[in-house]
């Protein structure tokens, strides 16, 4: 039985705010469908105070912006993108195409086709999330997507130069200084200025996430996403200072970001709570981290590692950091998470920024049915079939006729009958011509 030393706020407050988000997003999308570029410009002026002559950056503008970024920043961007590219290539190499002969002259195959156009949303409202350019654009390009459109908002009326540089170096074919619902809707439905894309990936605030949700089906999306989540698992071997630092590292994403500790040690739990209270006032991002911890922070004390892993799987969180004496045990014991970070030498921030795995991960319990963004998301796995042997054609044709008539699908049955007639001379009693 778990003892809860810190509770989150009731879920009803979150639900009420989400209802308002849904209504606002639906209105913006409907307006952009009707008025196109004029609506996009109006919402950019309203939400971002941004209305340039053109939202899409020209090659000359990109070159000038990239040249303004410090060399160390450029070098770091290149290094991190190399890590992301390498991991994505290993993922791609793990996806086999094949063709097999299942019967004489019957060949079945599988191949992977990249989507023709992908949209990469790179957030920038609170922070310039440069790393999101690596995760969405580099991965799409490794998959072979021929056209990648990057959208990122201005920050306080200024061009986010490092983000533009990251998008350019990642291989974006178009870079637009456009954010929020208006960016997602423009990429999805298209306007006179922007051709639509087939799939949109990338994190964002509640409005961006809701826009992707409402447009899903018309376009593909990476996954349904909500506020960033961190779950820290600790036993008596853990350092409460590290627990506290890492919980707050994700709480700073926004005031609605859950940060949860599950531990087998009440002492670790209490010391972590004390460390959070000590560290939080001095954080430059306390305006976000403070409300997140106050409203969405939780601390659970359990009696055993069995309970710890069971409760962790029940949370099905985006990021799970395992600070136990045997962290790799989590690989065997857990099945519901976006990404695992094993041992004190690893932290969620590595995954967010530098290590090479993708940081676009499932939230709000979506880890129960999906993993995060990966190279395969940009690929359509398709199949093909070919029958060239008359004996196999007759066998399958007769079988198709019988199976289809069991289901009362006479049209399907006749297609099978024709193949059996062509291959082996079977009669077609239904063909009276």
Catalytic residue set: 318-319
Q: What are phi and psi of 215, to 5 degrees?
A: -90, -10
Euclidean distance between CA atoms 157 and 49, whole angstroms: 7
Answer for the pair 257, 251: CB distance below 8 angstroms, yes or no: yes
Half-sphere exposure of 32 (CA within 13 A, CB side): 30
115 Cβ neighbours under 8 A, 6+ residues apart: 145, 197, 198, 199, 220, 378, 379, 380
How many helices and strands in the chain, by DSSP H and E? Answer: 17, 14
Q: Strands, DSSP E only, in 180-263?
A: 199-201, 220-221, 230-234, 259-263
56 Cβ neighbours under 8 A, 6+ residues apart: 174, 175, 176, 193, 194
DSSP per residue, 104-144: TTEEEEEEEEE-SEEEEE---SSS--HHHHIIIIIHHHHHT
Q: How many CB atoms lie within 10 A of CB 171?
A: 17
Tokens of 369: 């049915």
Euclidean distance between CA atoms 305 and 340, whole angstroms: 16
- For CA atoms 362, 230, 8, 204, the dihedral sign is negative
Answer for the pair 93, 375: CB distance below 8 angstroms, yes or no: no
Euclidean distance between CA atoms 205 and 217, whole angstroms: 20
């Amino acid at each position: 039985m778990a003892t809860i030393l810190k509770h989150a706020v009731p879920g009803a407050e979150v639900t009420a705010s989400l209802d308002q988000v849904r209504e606002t997003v639906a209105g913006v999308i409907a307006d952009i469908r009707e008025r196109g570029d004029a609506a996009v410009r109006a919402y950019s002026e309203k939400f971002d105070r941004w209305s340039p002559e053109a939202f899409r950056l020209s090659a000359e503008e990109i070159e000038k912006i990239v040249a303004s970024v410090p060399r160390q920043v450029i070098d770091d961007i290149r290094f991190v993108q190399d890590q992301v590219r390498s991991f994505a290539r290993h993922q791609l190499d793990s996806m086999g195409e094949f063709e097999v002969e299942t019967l004489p002259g019957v060949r079945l195959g599988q191949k992977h086709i990249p989507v023709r156009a992908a949209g990469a949303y790179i957030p920038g409202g609170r922070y310039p999330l440069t790393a999101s350019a690596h995760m969405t654009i580099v991965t799409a390009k490794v998959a072979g997507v021929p056209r990648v459109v990057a959208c990122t908002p201005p920050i306080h009326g200024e061009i986010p130069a490092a983000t533009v540089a990251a998008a350019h170096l990642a291989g974006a074919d178009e870079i637009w200084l456009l954010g929020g619902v208006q960016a997602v809707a423009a990429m999805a439905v298209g306007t006179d200025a922007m051709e639509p894309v087939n799939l949109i990936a990338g994190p964002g605030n509640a409005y961006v996430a809701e826009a992707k949700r409402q447009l899903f089906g018309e376009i593909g999306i990476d996954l349904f996403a909500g506020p960033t989540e961190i779950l820290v698992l600790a036993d008596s071997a853990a350092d409460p200072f590290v627990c506290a630092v890492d919980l707050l590292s994700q709480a700073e994403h926004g005031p609605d970001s859950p940060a949860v500790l599950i531990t087998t040690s009440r002492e670790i739990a209490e010391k972590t709570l004390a460390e959070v209270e000590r560290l939080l006032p001095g954080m430059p991002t306390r305006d976000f981290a403070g409300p997140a911890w106050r409203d969405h922070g939780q601390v659970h004390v359990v009696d055993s590692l069995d309970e710890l892993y069971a409760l962790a799987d029940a949370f099905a969180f985006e990021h799970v950091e395992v600070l136990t004496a045997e962290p790799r045990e989590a690989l065997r014991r857990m099945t519901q998470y976006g990404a695992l970070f094993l041992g004190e030498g690893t932290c969620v921030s590595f995954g967010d920024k530098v290590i090479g795995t993708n940081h676009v991960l499932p939230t709000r319990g979506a880890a129960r049915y999906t993993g995060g963004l990966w190279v395969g998301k940009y690929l359509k796995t398709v199949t093909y079939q070919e029958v060239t042997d008359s004996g196999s054609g007759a066998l399958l044709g007769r079988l198709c006729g019988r199976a289809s008539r069991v289901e009362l699908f006479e049209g399907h049955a006749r297609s099978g009958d024709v193949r059996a007639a062509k291959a082996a001379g079977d009669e077609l009693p239904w063909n009276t011509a």
